[in-house]
Amino acid sequence: MQSGHDLTMDKARQTAQGAEDAARRLPRDVREKAIIEGAIRFFAENGFEAATRALAKELGITQPLLYRYFPSKEVLIERVYNEVFVSRWNPEWEALIVDRSRPLEDRLIAFYRAYSKAVYDYVWVRIFVYSGLKKMDLNTRYLTIIREKVLIPICEELRHERGLPDTNSLPLGEDEVEMVWGLHGAFFYRAVRRFVYSLPERVPDDEAIANDIRQFLHGAPPTQKKIVKDRAKDRS
């Protein structure tokens, strides 16, 4: 098989070998970036237990070269985390949620659509789930931010929207926050279905998200009123 191949391949191998060709002898920073981006895709696909040799192969380089750029696999993985998570959170989103010059429905749709552009992403979702299973505090920290910067503000806007007491006179109850976790779950589980369980996207995201929000806002008031009433009773 492949008889006489070797001679003709010898030339070709230099430009296209393995999955992607990796133009030999790159400047340091270019090669470093190539490794990181390759590592992101590779670990998102195969998990962090996957072998560095396989990563190198996919990059079209040899395995020891990785160690010229990163002192250990662990450090490389750390870099992958940073690259994927740190710069995908846009602080403007926080202001968007509490901008009372617009209807709440518009704000929430705008926020979750914008957020989906950053987060409905193969690499993001899988690396987030992988690191969650590994019990990295990264996830806990991230979800704490979600809670503080997204869910609780939404709770407060909901209170305001319905003319209910603000959170100073009546602190938020866990069940109120849990209610909004429901919205967030509907939103995030869509990405999990697609990127973890490989189910197809059957409804365009923007449409599905708008439905999520409308449904949430229509459904919330009764639950919310009940919760607040119960809490007011408990406190007397």
The residues of the shown chain that bind a copy of itself, judged by CB under 8 A, are 47, 49, 126, 129-130, 132-133, 135, 139-140, 143, 174-175, 177-179, 181-190, 192-193, 196-199, 202-203, 207-208, 211-212, 214-223, 227
| DSSP code string of 149-186 | IIIHHHHHHHHHHTT---TTTSPPPHHHHHHHHHHHHH
Distance CA 90, CA 196 (A): 24
220 binds, among a copy of itself, DNA, none (CB under 5 to 8 A by kind): a copy of itself
Does position 15 interact with DNA (CB under 7 A)? The reply is no
User: Residue 4 CB, nearest distance to DNA (Å)?
Assistant: 21
Please say whether the dihedral angle defined by the alpha carbons of residues 224, 225, 231 and 232, taken in this order, is positive or negative: positive
What is the distance of C-alpha 225 from the center of its chain? 32
For residues 73-132, which are near DNA according to CB under 7 A? Answer: 73-74
User: Residue 72 CB, nearest distance to DNA (Å)?
Assistant: 3
State how far the alpha carbon of 230 is from the alpha carbons of 13, 179, 221, 227, 236, in Å.
72, 15, 14, 5, 10
For residues 33-52, which are near DNA according to CB under 7 A? Answer: 49-52
198 binds, among DNA, a copy of itself, none (CB under 5 to 8 A by kind): a copy of itself
In the chain, % helix, strand, coil (3-state, to 5) comes to 70, 0, 30
User: Residue 48 CB, nearest distance to DNA (Å)?
Assistant: 9
- Looking at the Cβ atoms of 92 and 174, the one nearer to a copy of itself is 174
Please report, as ranges, the residues that interact with DNA according to CB under 7 A. Answer: 24-28, 31, 49-54, 61-65, 67-68, 71-74
